[in-house]
Amino acid sequence: MTDKTPTRAPFTRRAALATLGATGASLAVPGLLPGLGGTAQAQSGDPIKIGFQVHRTGIGAAYGRWYDRTSQAAVARINDMGGINGRPVELVSEDDGTDPKRGAEVLEKFANQSNCDVAFGTLFSHVVIGSAPRAAELKLPYFVVSEGHHVASGMLNRYTLQPGITDVKSQVIAMAPFVGDNLGKKVTMMFADFAFGHDHRDFFSEAIKEQGGKVIKMIAIPPTETSFTKYFPQIPQETEVLYHVMVGPAVLTFVKEMGEFFGPSRPEIFGYIDSLEAVSIDSPGLEFLEGTYFWEGNPRYAQTDQTEFDKAFREAVGVDDSGASITDPADVSTYAHMFGCWETLNVIKAGMEACNYQGPEDRQALIEAVEAMTEMPASMDHPQGDKLFNGKTHQVFGVQYISKVEDGMLKVVHTTSIEDGFYPDEVDYTTQPF
């Protein structure tokens, strides 16, 4: 097992004595005081600790597993290159159960018990939003890899940043020109009746209007649904493009039943790969996807013009050319999202090096250092592609990929520019006090 729970920081003599004292004083409640972190000051040889909130259980577990593998690989690479400011990096992983309450508790554990320098991780927006207020109160920098619009919308706070993955609003806006120009103007949207789906609904219908197109029907699917055929008849016959974005374990059923519904006479279909993340494209029943289009955050199949960075990234994480685990070809990764963990960890490293981070007292300097970042060119630190970080909104913007299913593989047919996904700033976190 590579993801063992962290070993505790070695105690200094003084801290150990203080701890003993505290333990003595609280003998009245035995059993309440496991693993006192104490107040050990970081020494120069001590590792920099990055608290990693991970969806090990709950609905996000499929993502969590790959977020974990990617993060472990990124930290291994950072340590191979000499760590951060000469100190090794240690990933302190805690399961958040894909639950906002547990997520907040885990942040407290990072800040107050395992003495982490920063916190990082997680995909599901409700966990991020439930945790973020605690990050601000604990004054713990919290780097999220969620692709939600919550950071850039101004809902969160100065301690929460998203420097590794483009937010959904930008992704969606960048898709509209391609859909409008190449697939059709009359769009029907089917989306999960979740905040995530609503973001797609609102941002895309806005963006397609600017392309002279129109959303003619929106079908929200209740998140508890397991069978979808009954919703397809609501799709108007004049639909030119069907835009779908679903999440959760029932997504494969959704896509399969969509195929059974349409048969050979289907409109153009454009979907978010979220509908099929961690699911193999050649699963039984998905044959009809041939010729349909997908947004991909990062192309799952190695393309003919693959960059050396993508190649090395795959190798480091242990993913083959079709986006599956090297050891088990049936184990498909969440390739469109997990690069965000890798890139975020490299941003943390760059930020800590820029402000010569020594310990928790430098946390604000770290945030300012990251806020000062702008261009992040494609490199081994940023294998997904070029990025531009907006320090005011704490959000990064990157290129997006649109792939077509050909011969059972996803082939990139269009790469958006970073500018395609721009929208006016909605917040300036740099004006907020720490």
Give min distance, CB of 277 to another protein, in A.
10
Nearer of residues 56 and 382 to another protein, judged by Cβ:
56
Spatial CB neighbours of 17, under 8 Å, sequence gap ≥ 6: none
Nearer residue to another protein within complex by CB, 111 or 118? 111
Query: Residue holding tokens 């397809």?
Result: 232
Q: Give 62 or 367: the residue with its C-beta nearer to another protein.
A: 62
Minimum CB distance to another protein smaller for 150 or for 363: 150
Nearer to another protein, 279 or 365 (CB): 279
CB of 133 to another protein, least distance (A): 3
Distance CA 309, CA 55 (A): 27
Report in angstroms how near the CB of residue 356 gets to another protein at its nearest.
27
Q: How far is the CB of 276 from another protein (least distance, A)?
A: 10
40 to 12, 113, 318, 360: CA distances (angstroms): 6, 11, 36, 11
Q: How far is the CB of 359 from another protein (least distance, A)?
A: 17
Smallest distance from another protein to CB 119, Å: 14
The minimum distance between CB 51 and another protein, in angstroms, equals 13
* Kind and range of the H or E run holding 219: strand 214-221
Query: How many CB atoms are closer than 10 A to CB 403?
Result: 23
CB-nearer residue toward another protein: 88 or 259: 259
Residue 191: both structure tokens together: 């989306």
* Nearest distance in Å: CB 9, another protein: 14
Q: For residues 115 and 240, what is the distance between their CA atoms, to the nearest angstrom?
A: 55
Q: Which residues contact 413 (CB under 8 A, 6 or more apart)?
A: 293, 402, 403, 404
Distance between CA 202 and CA 159 in Å, rounded? 27
Pick between residue 139 and residue 414 the one whose CB is nearest to another protein.
Answer: 139
354 by Cβ neighbours in 10 Å (0-12 / 13-18 / 19+) ranks as middle
Q: Which amino acid is at 237?
A: Q
Q: Closer CB to another protein, residue 45 or residue 222? A: 222
What gap in Å lies between CA 317 and CA 339, rounded to an integer? Answer: 10
Q: How distant is the alpha carbon of residue 80 from its chain centre?
A: 24
Angle in degrees, CA 205, 209, 213, rounded to 5: 100
CA angle 202, 416, 195 (to 5 degrees): 25
Joined tokens for residue 173: 């806006």
